[in-house]
Amino acid sequence: MAETALLEVEDLAVHFRLPLPVAERAMGRRPKVLKAVDGVSFAIGKGVTLSVVGESGCGKSTVARLIAGLYRPTRGRVAIDGRDVTAAKDRTRAIRRRLTMIFQDPQASLNPRWRVRDIIAEPIRAFGIAGDARETGRQVDGLLEQVGLAGADGEKYPHEFSGGQRQRISIARALASKPDLILCDEPTSALDVSVQAQILNLMRDLQDDLGLTYLFISHDLAVVHHMSDRIAVMYLGRFVEVADAAALFAAPQHPYTQLLLETIPDLGMTGRDREAVAGEVPSPIDPPSGCAFHPRCPHANERCRTERPELRTAGGPDGATVACHAVEEGRIVGAPARGTADG
Amino acid sequence: MTGGTTSALLPRTLLDVRDLKVGLPTRRGHLSILNGVDLHVKEGEVLGVVGESGAGKSITGLAVIGLLEPPARIDDGEVWFDGARIDGLSGDALRRIRGARIGVIFQDPLTSLNPLYTIGFQLTETIRTHMDLGADAAEKRAVELLDEVGIPAAASRLGAYPHEFSGGMRQRVVIALALCANPRLIIADEPTTALDVSIQAQIIGVLKRLCREHGTAVMLITHDMGVIAETADRVAVMYAGRVIEDGTVAEVVRNASHPYSHGLMGSIPTIGERVGRLPQIRGAMPRVGAVPVGCAFAPRCPEVRDLCRAERPAMMDGRTTSAACWQYSPRWPDRSGAAGPEAGIGTAGAESAAADG
């Protein structure tokens, strides 16, 4: 990442105040605060896919929504091509055009009363990309073909399509404004595996053809492994490890990453007996002190319980960073996960 | 692991489903949801039932235990459990089997538990319904069960309500409920789908351990091949309302005979290896009511011949598993010249991306 990254995020955070029942408010209790995202920093270079992976409630979708401008951050900074776009007033049309989003549920993100043609044409019209209606129509046809649909499908309504086809429509709409960066929030989690493969292949092809940059949000490590150049593992609102995809899977360093890799069911694992890891993700409303992972961590000591670890370079050629006292102190070394040997 | 030891003793068949057909009468005519499902579960065995959404996995499970939602009904076929035929039994007779001899676990633990009663009450009620036990003995058993499924300080949690538990803990309670009366068979419908991966691992571990200890057979219904791969002994792959492949888990995952199972396994990204493009199956599964005449997979199949479009294949011996595919029949035409461009099925639009590997 020598040159300016396409997207830079610095210490981004959003805290939601939870509504308090009237009775408790009358008693003078202060509202609780949910720190959905609590200080994440990263940069994505052009044409690269960075994935954010974590369990439900860790804040990964919120990160995408913050970057899209759907929430106002409590603190932190978002920059595109080095230009600060954190505040709503800095999000000019030119900036908004360059950044689009694909959501998990295409059923919910496509207006059921609009024809597909109008759904896809909306960004083209809104950003004044095509000169006239004829040109808009031509572009819509081109987009439909680009995502593997036919031009005639434009006359139909979203309900006439299957889940996979609807996600293709979402992708066509996301491409309509000729963006540089697409924020993909679990784009295939609602799809069956054979359809998921089609959509993932399509997304990779589009990236190659158009030089797109993806921020890919997913809970599915196998999908993330397939799609990403770089991966950030998130736990309770913070990144615990950021590394190149290959390195992360070959030698996960953070105990939480190791746990995730250890526990995911995988096709290569027939007949394996799992080592069940105790504990569950704590509530983000009252996260544990110190390192949020310490109650489940086999390596936790007094320092982990009191002092919150920061992301630090963990050594290695690819500039992986890990937020873990035990790794920093050399109490654990990156255990090689199950590698390609069993494949 | 004890993967291959089951065949040594030739265990009895516990559940046998023969040519099961389930239909749904609608205003626009009769819709067939299951088009002749054949499967069996042996004693102490974990059978994985996999398939994509709409393949009929859950309907099969519901039909077996007589919980089909009317107007859906069994049109034809037989369900045998432990040597007796159980389809067509009266509600009362079925109720005595359900819970006592067949336990059920559903996907969402919150909807399987009554939010208004303590879990202690729900457990003891179930235990006393199916077993001849007094109140104290039932409570003792409830504590033992909660202990077994890994709920810490079980005795003190009997008075707790379902909302006081997390998702993973709730699913443990549901497993305890299903195990109450020491059933011979558990039907688990997507038991881990609503849970996060690290919790999923714990639940699978509990289910596997208990079934091994109690000798309970499991029919595990899920769309998650990863879960099947590490839990099941044998796998039945469903497609468009039928079982199209049946074999040991290792063979189905690594060396599937049916082109659909083969494509399905290939299209799943794995951690072990990283490929440029995922092999994909073009198209999508036909909708209920739009299943083609011959082999339901014919419109998407890379190996399709005229025979496949004309006649529906029965299960036959494939490479190492059995598969419903004409390739393994002597009638299979050897020269591939017959395969033309596929005649599209009822669903409009082209799901297919341009080129597949």
Question: Where do the structural domains in chain A lie, given as residue ranges?
Answer: 1-98+179-265+278-285, 108-178
pLDDT for residue B20 is more than 90: yes
Name the token pair of B117.
């009663």
Q: Which residue in A267, A272, A280, A286 has the most chain B C-beta atoms within 10 A of its own C-beta, making it the best mutation to test that interface?
A: A267
B77 lies within 8 A of chain A by CB: no
ipTM over 0.90: no
pLDDT for residue A342 is more than 60: no
* Degrees to nearest 5, angle at CA B74 with B70 and B75: 120
CB atoms within 10 A of CB A205: 17
% of chain B surpassing 70 pLDDT: 90
End-to-end CA distance of chain A: 32
CB contact under 8 A, A267 and B348: no
Entry pTM: 0.81
- For B2-5, the CB contacts below 8 A with 24+ separation are B2/B212, B3/A270, B3/A271, B3/B233, B3/B249, B3/B250
Name the token pair of A267.
């096709």
CATH architecture observed for domain A1-98+179-265+278-285: 3-Layer(aba) Sandwich (3.40)
What pLDDT digit, counting tens, does each position of A85-106 carry? 998 888 888 889 999 999 988 8
User: Do β-strands A238-244 and A181-185 pair in parallel, antiparallel, or remain unpaired?
Assistant: unpaired
pLDDT of residue B111: 80
Q: How far is B194 from chain A (nearest CA, A)?
A: 10
Which residue on chain A is closest to B261 by alpha carbon? A194
Which residue on chain A is closest to B1 by alpha carbon? A271
pLDDT for residue B2 is more than 90: no
* Stretch B117-142: mean pLDDT: 92
B199 lies within 8 A of chain A by CB: yes
B116 lies within 8 A of chain A by CB: no
pLDDT for residue A164 is more than 80: yes
Of A270, A100, A182, A277, nearest in space to B226 by CA = A270
* Stretch B28-34: mean pLDDT: 89
Inter-helix orientation angle B119-130/B135-148, to 10°: 110
The residues facing A205 across adjacent strands are none
Q: How far is A127 from chain B (nearest CA, A)?
A: 29
Peptide bond into B71 cis (omega under 30): yes
What pLDDT digit, counting tens, does each position of A324-338 carry? 999 888 887 655 444
User: Where does A266-341 have alpha helices with state H?
Assistant: 302-306, 325-328
pLDDT of residue B9: 56
B201 lies within 8 A of chain A by CB: yes
What pLDDT digit, counting tens, does each position of A128-140 carry? 988 889 999 999 9
B53 lies within 8 A of chain A by CB: yes
Q: Which of B208, B250, B347 sits opposite A270 (nearest CB)?
A: B250
% of chain A surpassing 90 pLDDT: 55
Task: List CB contacts of A305: < 8 A, sequence separation 6 or more.
Answer: A288, A289, A290, A291, A294
Residue A126 CA to residue A336 CA, distance in Å, equals 50
Q: How far is Cα of residue B328 from the mean position of the Cα atoms in its chain?
A: 25
Q: Which residue type occupies A69?
A: G
Name the token pair of B19.
């040519």
Q: Which of B226, B272, B285 sits opposite A343 (nearest CB)?
A: B272
* Residue B330 to residues A229, A241, B48, B281, B343, Cα–Cα distance (Å): 48, 56, 30, 26, 25
- In this structure, chain B runs to a length of 357
CB contact under 8 A, B1 and A273: yes
pLDDT of residue A162: 85
Give the sign of the dihedral formed by CA A48, CA A53, CA A56, CA A58: negative
pLDDT of residue B341: 39
Q: Which of A222, A273, A277 sits opposite B269 (nearest CB)?
A: A222
DSSP code at position B253: H
Residue B148 CA to residue B215 CA, distance in Å, equals 15
Name the token pair of B347.
């669903």
Name the token pair of B262.
């083969």
End-to-end CA distance of chain B: 36
* Residue B153 to residues B173, B175, B312, Cα–Cα distance (Å): 13, 17, 55
pLDDT of residue B335: 55
Virtual CA dihedral for B219, B206, A189, B267, nearest 10 degrees?
-60
Q: How far is Cα of residue A260 from the mean position of the Cα atoms in its chain?
A: 17
Q: How far is A229 from chain B (nearest CA, A)?
A: 12
Q: Which residue in A171, A193, A297 has the most chain B C-beta atoms within 10 A of its own C-beta, making it the best mutation to test that interface?
A: A193
CB contact under 8 A, A222 and B270: yes
What pLDDT digit, counting tens, does each position of B157-169 carry? 999 999 888 888 8
Name the token pair of A255.
């105990």
Q: Which residue in B50, B151, B195, B197 has the most chain A C-beta atoms within 10 A of its own C-beta, making it the best mutation to test that interface?
A: B197
pLDDT for residue B225 is more than 70: yes
What pLDDT digit, counting tens, does each position of B43-79 carry? 989 999 998 888 999 999 999 998 888 888 999 999 9
Virtual CA dihedral for A288, A291, A296, A298, nearest 10 degrees?
-150
